Amino acid sequence: MHVGRIDLNLFLVFDAIYTEGSLTRAAETLNLTQPAVSHALARLRELLNDELFTRGRGGRGTPAGGAPVTMVPTPVAHQLITPVRAALKGLGDAVQGTRAFDPATATRRFRINLGDIFEALLLPALMERLQREAPGVEIINTRFARDDIPVELAAGRLDLAVDVLHRVDDSLRMHRLARDQHVCLLAASHPLADRSLSIDDYLAAGHILASSRTRGPGFVDVELARRGRSRRIALRCQHYLPAALAASRTQLVLTVPQALAQMLARLAPLVEKPFPLTLNPLEAYACWHASREQDPANRWLRGLLIEGLEEA
């Protein structure tokens, strides 16, 4: 089949459905009607002799009065998405050339991956700045497992990620944003609140671990294990804000990076104590796919995040 006989707009629709997992949201993204998107999908199915997407349950799109429906890619769709996205990006780059990204007039959606710490530290200031400088820009913060971040960046489902990375991928470009030490947060009414915290005090206490993972040790537990030490976790939860609120009403200890501790201590009656051992610092990186290195919009966004964390 000669490429000149193919309507390339069909692949824009294909990419949108694959990304959004919904005909309705794909139509919103493309500023088309849902029947137009359905018609384009039907044409592409006929062209490629494959269903490309089947209807499933458990997705994010919810029709009125019905259960959630999602468009599930077939094996052929999974095989097509990477070369299709590479081709679309190449066309976009060729058309755009070196034209600068204008945030004031841009209507762009960015998908980013911020861990819980960076969501709290970066999103408020980022959104405040976007309201002033780029009112048409939309931010979607999602969460992927760290091992999946390189795959999501390469597939174009993520524009940028900020997290503590333990696996480096050759296809990624990275910039170190922060290097921070851990500190301890205790309730203002805690018996140890008015004196220094020894390692014996720390290990004898009950602790709160905030982690997006449901199992496995946290950063502090790994560092303690290297020294032949361990602590008792009384509460494990996914987010730092409820962890801080719980610490403020109990005698449990919450260990967090110092930058986050200062924010949490303004939200709850907590006191900050130095960690009683010297731990390896926590390093956070902004990372993006190599194909986005020279993309003006991506460069603008990561510049904002870098500036925002430096200010925080």
Which superfamily is assigned to 182-280 in CATH? Periplasmic binding protein-like II (3.40.190.10)
Which position has the higher pLDDT, 101 or 18?
18
Residue 95: pLDDT band (50, 70, 90) is: low
The neighbouring-strand residues paired with 286 are 162, 175
Distance of CA 183 to the CA centre of its chain: 24
Tell me the two tokens of residue 172.
Answer: 């990624």
Establish whether domains 109-179+283-311 and 182-280 are of one fold. yes
State pLDDT tens for residues 220-275. Answer: 999 999 999 999 999 999 999 999 999 999 999 999 999 899 899 999 999 999 99
Enumerate helices (H) and strands (E) in the chain, giving the number of each. Answer: 11, 12
Q: Which fold has domain 109-179+283-311?
A: D-Maltodextrin-Binding Protein; domain 2 (3.40.190)
Model confidence at 123: pLDDT above 70: yes
> CB of 119 within 8 A of CB of 46?
no
| All structural domains of the chain with their residue ranges | 3-96, 109-179+283-311, 182-280
State pLDDT tens for residues 145-198. Answer: 888 888 888 888 899 998 876 556 778 888 888 788 999 999 999 999 999 999
Model-level pTM greater than 0.75? no
State pLDDT tens for residues 1-60. Answer: 445 567 878 999 999 999 999 999 999 988 899 999 999 999 999 999 999 999 886 544
* CA 232/CA 102 separation, integer angstroms: 52
Q: Which fold has domain 3-96?
A: Arc Repressor Mutant, subunit A (1.10.10)
Residue 61: pLDDT band (50, 70, 90) is: very low
Q: Which of 6-20, 56-70, 206-220 has the least mean pLDDT?
A: 56-70
